[in-house]
Amino acid sequence: MSAVITPQPAVQAYLTVNNVEVIYDHVILVLKGVSLQVQKGQIVALLGANGAGKTTTLKAISNLLRAERGEVTKGSIEFDGRRVDQLTPNELVRLGVCQVMEGRHCFQHLTVEENLLTGAFTRSVGRAELRRDLELVYEYFPRLKERRGSLAGYTSGGEQQMTAIGRALMAHPKMILLDEPSMGLAPQLVEEIFGIVKSLNEKEGVSILLAEQNTNIALRFADYGYILENGRVVMDGAAASLAQNEDVKEFYLGLSAGGRKSFRDTKFYRRRKRWLS
Amino acid sequence: MAGPVSFFFEVLFSGLLAGVMYSLVALGFVLIYKASGVFNFAQGAMVFFAALTFVSLVERGVNFWLAMAITLAVMILLGILTERVVLRPLINQPPITLFMATIGLTFFLEGLSQGIWGAQPHGLDIGIRDEPMEWLADRTGMFLSQFDLFASGIAAVLVTVLALFFQRTRIGRALRAVADDHQAALAVGIPLKHIWAIVWAVAGFVALVAGLLWGARTGVQYALTFVALKALPVLILGGFESIAGAIVGGLIIGASEKLAEVYLGPYVGGGIESWFPYVLALAFLLFRPEGLFGEKHIDRV
Ligand SMILES: Nc1ncnc2c1ncn2[C@@H]1O[C@H](COP(=O)(O)OP(=O)(O)O)[C@@H](O)[C@H]1O
Ligand SMILES: [Mg+2]
């Protein structure tokens, strides 16, 4: 791909991932030096096909890799002006960095409301304040209020996604690492959830790093985007300009000058291109 | 009104009450299995260790309640140490490795308790006689041990307290969350290590209660470690992940083993009590492998 621009860290960003390399099981090299930045108050999209390394990047930040036998072997990660690569997930949540994992990962045998309450685990606050926070979550996700007493495992995929985001919200996060919120959901629901995420970003001032395969919707809601391929950032830029980029259109939005291409053509074309480069 | 009917009920009730004692031991297994997926082979050794520590303290003149408090503190410390020394280094290892580690812990505990307190058996008197309750016998013609009734009362209190702890407290909720999904629990900032230490400490507390009751009934001796074997059919029946299952499983095993002994025993020869629960559990395994109350895995994508 052509337009590779390496961002020059001019001002200190809110989150800085600097040349991070990740190895699983001591041998599988998955991230080959990923760098990215999120400015305070931004929504930044991390795009790329299945297996590109989006989830791994988010887990490297939230330090959930160790539980999967993964390890950051190179590079550094800074949040709000301090190194965070050695912190435990617990310490990171306390600092305000919360991950909403791919596949929601709700606590299936806890009710929706109990799920939300677990999100406040790191904050030792009284009942009254928890109540207020729950109400705030219910304001953003009125559906969850209706379903508050149901076991999360018996709620719909969309409700589980909302529960997972609401649970992160209960921690009073400064930054949410949101992994594939659109996965397996109907387009209308995806739209609804992205709308809520956007308003969380605007009203609560939560910065968001969003991993998505659904390039189209991600670029509509994000301010900035990075495209990941094979564990490397191959392109980045303002969301609007990425959406106009010919390569992005062709390979990630399924559009090209000659109209919409079939997935199969795209795949073939891509392979050939990589082979040649 | 002594007759075949009241005799039947006497057998049934005494079986149910004996079953409560099995439930107590099974409970310790369930707690640890639920939260960490580890089958803790050392639960029996923990029961023995708790009872022996308590009885040795009392024999050295320590006040009953103080001895209880000290033993409880020791069990909690043991839980924390187990997490630190045994579980933490083995994080991310397959369950069988952890299981082997708890076997090691079993031998360590048995050695430790006998090393500190000696190997001779002790009697343990908690002030409740294992005798039939006279007023009950007078009124109903049933002979039920007052010790069994007392033990059941204690078990009921213990289960209620545990249930409240799990349902109503922040830590209890976190424990259930961890049992459901380790990864997600980590992601919301629940420190698994602390949670495991707490679970082991709670299991230690349950072992202490079981140890006192079993110790009072059978004496405190090495054989106490084998009460864990009695819990096995209870677990198969009730499911490894369910507190309710441990209770109901214990009751079923207790009742059926007594009934089998009395009504089937004469036809198949003595000793039926020692193998009947296993046959029952195995038969059950064929029909409902997740146990009576085993958590259904909610599969919904
Ligand atoms: N726990 C793991 N052990 C080994 N390899 C892994 C593990 N998790 C992910 N991978 C590999 O790392 C690559 C990137 O995966 P992932 O970060 O999940 O990509 P994405 O989220 O972009 O789909 C994939 O090739 C995947 O097979
Ligand atoms: Mg992924």
Best mutation target, A59, A71, A102, A105, to test chain B (most B CBs within 10 A) = A105
When the pLDDT of each residue in chain B is averaged and rounded to a whole number, the result is: 86
- Half-sphere exposure of residue B266: CA atoms within 13 angstroms, side-chain side: 3
**B106 — pLDDT class (breaks 50, 70, 90):** very high
CA A235 – CA A242 distance, rounded (Å): 9
CA B54 – CA B57 distance, rounded (Å): 5
Looking at residue A272, what is its pLDDT?
40
> Which residues, listed in sequence order, are joined to residue A179 by a DSSP beta bridge?
A211
Looking at residue A187, what is its pLDDT?
94
**B79 — pLDDT class (breaks 50, 70, 90):** confident
- What does the angle CA A217 – CA A220 – CA A223 come to, to the nearest 5 degrees? 125
For residue A214, give Cα distances in angstroms to A94, A105, B106.
30, 20, 53
Asked if A90's CB is within 8 angstroms of B176's CB, the reply is no
CATH code: domain B4-287 is 1.10.3470
pLDDT at B217 over 90: no
Q: How far is A250 from chain B (nearest CA, A)?
A: 31
Chains A & B: contacts with CB separation below 8 Å: 85
Looking at residue A3, what is its pLDDT?
53
- Half-sphere exposure of residue A9: CA atoms within 13 angstroms, side-chain side: 14
Q: Which residues contact B298 (CB under 8 A, 6 or more apart)?
A: A108, A109, A151, A153, A154
Looking at residue B214, what is its pLDDT?
87
Looking at residue A255, what is its pLDDT?
65
| Amino acid in position B14 | S
Asked if B190's CB is within 8 angstroms of A184's CB, the reply is no
Looking at residue A254, what is its pLDDT?
72
First to last CA, chain A: 9
Place of tokens 């994992």: A101
Instruction: Residue A69: name the closest of B120, B178, B93, B293 by CA.
Output: B93
Strands A70-79 and A43-47: unpaired
Q: Where are the beta strands (DSSP E) in A107-251?
A: 175-179, 207-212, 224-229, 232-238
User: How does pLDDT run across A14-58, given as a tens digit for each residue?
Assistant: 999 999 999 999 999 999 999 999 999 999 999 999 999 999 999
The complex's ipTM? Answer: 0.85
Looking at residue B297, what is its pLDDT?
61
Tokens of B70: 């000290």
Q: Where are the beta strands (DSSP E) in chain A?
A: 15-24, 28-38, 43-47, 70-79, 82-83, 97-100, 175-179, 207-212, 224-229, 232-238
Phi, psi of A54 (to 5 degrees): -65, -50
**DSSP tag of B295:** P
- The rounded percent of chain B whose pLDDT value lies above 70 is 97
Can you give the pTM of this predicted structure?
0.83
Q: Which residues contact B252 (CB under 8 A, 6 or more apart)?
A: B19, B237, B280
pLDDT at B289 over 90: no
Q: In chain A, which stretches have pLDDT less than 50?
A: 1, 259-265, 268-277
Q: How far is B181 from chain A (nearest CA, A)?
A: 6
Residue A50 CA, closest ligand 1 atom number: 23
Q: Which residues from A are below 8 Å from B when comparing CB atoms?
A: 62, 64, 67, 69, 88-90, 92-94, 98-101, 105-110, 114-115, 117-119, 121-122, 151, 153-154, 157, 167-168, 171, 184
Q: Which of the ligands is closest to the CA of residue A67?
A: 1
List, as one string, the DSSP characters of A57-102. Answer: HHHHHHT-SGGGTEEEEEEEEEETTEE-TT--HHHHHHHTEEEE-T
**DSSP tag of A45:** E
- What does the angle CA A121 – CA A177 – CA A43 come to, to the nearest 5 degrees? 130
CA A95 – CA A172 distance, rounded (Å): 10
Looking at residue A80, what is its pLDDT?
95
User: How does pLDDT run across B122-172, given as a tens digit for each residue?
Assistant: 888 877 777 777 777 777 777 778 888 888 888 889 888 988 998 889 999
Looking at residue A8, what is its pLDDT?
55
Looking at residue A18, what is its pLDDT?
95
Packed helices B227-238 and B243-259: angle between N→C axes, nearest 10 degrees: 110
pLDDT at B120 over 90: no
Tokens of B232: 């096995």
Quick check: B237 and B23 in contact, CB under 8 A?
A: no
Domain boundaries, chain B: 4-287
When the pLDDT of each residue in chain A is averaged and rounded to a whole number, the result is: 89
Could you tell me if B168 lies within 8 Å of chain A, comparing CB atoms?
Answer: no
Q: Nearest chain B Cα to A102, which residue?
A: B184
Looking at residue A105, what is its pLDDT?
95
Average pLDDT for residues B34-43, to the nearest whole number?
A: 86
For residue A24, give Cα distances in angstroms to A27, A29, B95, B266.
6, 7, 20, 63
Residue nearest to atom 21 of ligand 1 (CA): A55
Q: How many CB atoms lie within 10 A of CB A236?
A: 24
Q: Which residues contact B24 (CB under 8 A, 6 or more apart)?
A: B151, B155, B158, B206, B209, B210, B213, B214, B250
Looking at residue B192, what is its pLDDT?
87
CA A96 – CA A87 distance, rounded (Å): 12
**DSSP tag of B63:** -
Looking at residue A274, what is its pLDDT?
45
Q: Which helix (H) or strand (E) holds B162?
A: helix B146-168
